[in-house]
Amino acid sequence: MFKLTCSIVNSLSTACRQASTKGTSFHFPPLPGHDSPLRWGGKKFEELPILHIKATYNNTHIQLTDCEGQSLVRTSCGTEGFKNIKKSTPVAAQTAAISAAAKKATAKGVTFVRVIVKGLGPGRLSAIKGLTMGGLEVVSITDNTPVPHNGCRPRKARRM
């Protein structure tokens, strides 16, 4: 089953790469099986640290982990001193990203980073912008918003 999905993914990716070489230049990320010559700061794509951005409707959390998953830096709008409604603003997300990137990540010697975004909140884009303003290099953006295939029942609809 896993080998089947791997082979499907490989065939899909090679087909898409061949199709997209001439058109738009947004190429696909280097798969762990394939050896690509791309290196960022001497590291392969799989060894770059990962920066998780969880953009909920009320807050934005930012956590930097290494490729294994060990947490290095953790900030959120609340840790930056914002309270209640001010946390759910793009400005707060940007300040959290700048403080996480500029102060703490560069202190640990991190330059290139892969970004994973989760959730559709107000701080989704401004957090990434804050990272680049803070001096971190974003290599790739992944969207990991949880999409249930009809699992848990969400709360009832609001009537306003």
Partner 1 sequence: MARHLRFVARTVMVQDGNVDAAYKHLNRVLTQDGIIETVKRKRYFEKPCRERQRKNYENCKRIYDTEMARKIAFISRTIRTDPWVGS
Binding site for partner 1 (CB under 8 A): 5, 9, 13, 25-29, 31, 45-46, 114, 120, 125, 128-129, 132, 137-145, 147-148, 153-158
**Least distance between partner 1 and beta carbon 81 (Å):** 26
Q: Which is nearer to partner 1, 107 or 141 (CB)?
A: 141
**Least distance between partner 1 and beta carbon 108 (Å):** 21
User: Are 94 and 60 in contact, with CB atoms under 8 Å apart?
Assistant: no
**Least distance between partner 1 and beta carbon 106 (Å):** 17
Residues contacting 108, CB < 8 A, separation 6+: 72, 73
**Least distance between partner 1 and beta carbon 27 (Å):** 6
CA separation for the pair 7, 11 (Å, rounded): 6
Q: Which is nearer to partner 1, 31 or 91 (CB)?
A: 31
Residue 56 CB-density burial (10 A; 0-12 exposed, 13-18 middle, 19+ buried): middle
Per-residue b/e over 2-27, b at no fewer than 16 CB within 10 Å? eeeeeeeeeeebeeeeeeeeeeeeee
Question: Which residues in the chain belong to E strands, given as ranges?
Answer: 50-55, 60-65, 71-76, 112-118, 137-143
Q: Which is nearer to partner 1, 12 or 107 (CB)?
A: 12
Amino acid (1-letter code) at residue 148 = P
Q: Which is nearer to partner 1, 91 or 139 (CB)?
A: 139
CA separation for the pair 103, 109 (Å, rounded): 10
Q: Which is nearer to partner 1, 28 or 107 (CB)?
A: 28
**Least distance between partner 1 and beta carbon 117 (Å):** 8
